[in-house]
Amino acid sequence: MTTPESPLTIAVGDSAVSGAYARPDTPAATVVVAHGAGTGMEHPFLAGFTRALNDMGIATLRFNFPYREAGRKFPDRPPAAVAAWRAAMAEAAARSGGEPLWAAGKSFGGRMASMAVAEGMPAAGLVYLGYPLHPPGKPEKLRDEHLYGLTLPMLFLQGTRDPFATPELLEAVVARIGPSASLEWREGGGHTFDVAGTKRSADEVGASLAGPAAAFIAAHASG
């Protein structure tokens, strides 16, 4: 049975952003999910991911960053994105029954979640749906410094052909973070986890990542 999803509005400073909340009966956790730089919370990839989590007994809250809400194409600077993350997590906490509250995001959304946590935002753990470790073709410009101070559980789900994360570099980063971080590869996957020669809809691709995310969350339920 599909868990109904309710639209909501989240105040972020003097403005507001849209959100969508779904809560199955007695959820094991709540996962707040942010979109990537070029899409919004309505993207089928994120909808498929959150619906699959709901089917696995996990509540979800998707939300838009302010730039997307305003119809702008260029992503928010970190302070604005972090403020949106804090507001979304606070909204999820207010609706929770005390279950663990996790943060997850596609690319930019996951990176901003990690920056928010590095700046003190409470979270039980982080799930990255394609971490943008560096710009395509620029492996020398790593976006990793803030990760090494994080000690909460972190799951990196990454395609082996993602131009935003050279495999050897990401493996080195995860190893340096330490035992709190885990890395799971999706063979042949690009930045959207698309695999050449395989026809899957975006919602199916998103849903395929819910299983490993839910398993990782369950494994750290007592953490």
- The predicted-structure confidence for 1-39, as pLDDT tens digits, reads as follows 689 999 999 999 999 999 999 999 999 999 999 999 999
Average pLDDT over residues 105-117: 98
Which pLDDT does position 175 carry in this prediction? 98
Rounded distance between C-alpha atoms, residue 207 and residue 46, angstroms: 8
- Specify whether the CB–CB gap between 113 and 105 falls below 8 A: yes
Closest CA to 99 of 50, 29, 31, 32: 29
Residue 223 pLDDT exceeds 50:
no
Q: What is the DSSP code string of 50-101?
A: HHHHHHTT-EEEEE--HHHHTT-SSPPPHHHHHHHHHHHHHHHHHH-SS--E
Mean pLDDT score, 144-157: 97
Q: Averaged over 148-155, what is the pLDDT?
A: 97
pLDDT at 149 over 60: yes
Distances (CA, A) of 22 to 57, 90, 130, 182, 220: 10, 16, 23, 27, 22
What is the per-residue pLDDT across 119-148, written as a single tens digit (0 to 9) for each? 999 999 999 999 999 999 999 999 999 999
Long-range contacts of 142-146 (CB under 8 A, 24+ apart): 142/169, 142/173, 143/111, 144/173, 146/114, 146/115, 146/118
Q: Give the max Cα distance, the chain.
A: 47
CA distance 147 to 219: 21
Q: Give the burial string for 173-197 (b: 16+ CB within 10 Å, else e).
A: bbeebeeebbbeebeebbbbbbbee
CB hemisphere CA count around 90 (13 angstroms): 14
35-84 pLDDT, tens digit each: 999 999 999 999 999 999 999 999 999 999 999 999 999 999 999 999 99
pLDDT computed for residue 1 by the predictor = 67
Query: Distance from first CA to last CA of the chain, Å, rounded?
Result: 30
**Is the distance from CB of 46 to CB of 17 less than 8 angstroms?**
no
210 within 8 A of 184, measured Cβ to Cβ: no
Q: Helix axis angle, 210-219 relative to 44-55, nearest 10°?
A: 50
How far is it, in rounded angstroms, from Cα 50 to Cα 175?
Answer: 28
The confidence score (pLDDT) of residue 197 equals 86
